[in-house]
């Protein structure tokens, strides 16, 4: 079953074409690594798949919802980790995750479990986010995605700012999500780290998919 199905999708960032005609089909359970140079369109592709960015032309579906007319339904079903952490600086770690759980109609009881899963120590659960390090914020933001239990994970540079332990946790998270039947789209520059994590590699450049192959090709390189 196709989780993502895009045909000729063009999306603008202002007047600049962020995506310039993307055709893409992603099946359930796939872990797709998106790589390419800065400005290639990796984050834009993730934003279109999250229902955050309106498309100018083309058509498609994400999780069975139309990417033009059913963006709110798409947004409710995906988990996106972007460059921002979407955390409120003056709220504690727990307060942030409880708010996002409540807003997403998810049981707040899952918050401690998600924080444990991301290795966020209990001593900082009641600390305001403004006092956390960049890595701790990143882990907390990932925990907010975990709490949602999405069917489609969209991770933009998930290893950025994390220490070695945090990076291993992200890898484990991706593997577990895939094992549980979820689909993962992962944008990363760290090919060495992610080459074995993904079941499929997409090379993106100039807003288009210029390569689509299994991990063995990048291994050989």
Q: Phi-psi bin for 208: left (phi > 0), alpha (psi -120 to 50), beta? A: beta
| 220 counts as binding other proteins under rule CB under 8 A | no
| 191 counts as binding other proteins under rule CB under 8 A | no
Contact 6, 58 (CB under 8 A): yes
Q: Taking CA 48 as the corner, what is the angle to CA 145 and CA 40, rounded to the nearest 5 degrees?
A: 100
Closest to other proteins by CB, 84 vs 216, is 84
> Residues 53-72: x/- map of binding to other proteins (CB under 8 A)?
-------------------x
Tokens representing 201?
A: 């590699």
| 151 counts as binding other proteins under rule CB under 8 A | no
Rounded to a whole number of angstroms, the minimum distance from the CB of residue 5 to other proteins is: 21
| 99 counts as binding other proteins under rule CB under 8 A | yes
Query: Most distant CA pair in the chain: distance in Å?
Result: 49
Per CB under 8 A, which region of 5-13, 100-108, 114-122, 211-219 contacts other proteins? 100-108
Q: How far apart are CA 120 and CA 75, in angstroms?
A: 26
Per CB under 8 A, which region of 25-33, 56-64, 94-102, 170-178 contacts other proteins? 94-102
For the chain, give me the number of helices (H) and strands (E)? 8, 10
Residues interacting with other proteins, by CB under 8 A? 50, 52, 72, 75-76, 78, 80, 82-91, 95, 99-100, 102-105, 128, 144
């Amino acid at each position: 079953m196709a989780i993502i199905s895009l045909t000729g999708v063009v999306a603008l960032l202002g007047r600049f074409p962020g995506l310039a005609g993307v055709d893409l089909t992603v099946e359930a359970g796939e872990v797709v690594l998106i790589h390419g140079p800065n400005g290639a369109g990796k984050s834009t592709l993730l934003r279109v798949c999250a229902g955050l960015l309106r498309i100018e032309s083309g058509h498609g579906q994400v999780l069975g919802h139309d990417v033009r007319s059913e963006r709110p339904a798409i947004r409710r079903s995906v988990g996106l980790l972007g460059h921002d952490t979407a955390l409120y600086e003056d709220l504690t770690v727990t307060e942030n995750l409880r708010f996002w759980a409540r807003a997403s109609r998810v049981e707040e009881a899952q918050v401690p479990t998600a924080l444990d899963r991301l290795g966020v120590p209990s001593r900082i659960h009641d600390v305001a986010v403004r006092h956390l390090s960049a890595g701790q914020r990143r882990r907390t933001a990932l925990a907010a995605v975990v709490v949602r239990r999405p069917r489609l994970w969209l991770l933009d540079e998930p290893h950025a700012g994390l220490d070695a332990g945090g990076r291993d946790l992200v890898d484990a998270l991706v593997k577990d999500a895939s094992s549980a039947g979820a689909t993962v789209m992962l944008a990363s520059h760290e090919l060495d780290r992610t080459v074995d994590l993904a079941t499929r590699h997409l090379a993106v450049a100039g807003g288009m998919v210029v390569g689509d192959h299994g991990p063995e090709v990048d291994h050989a390189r």
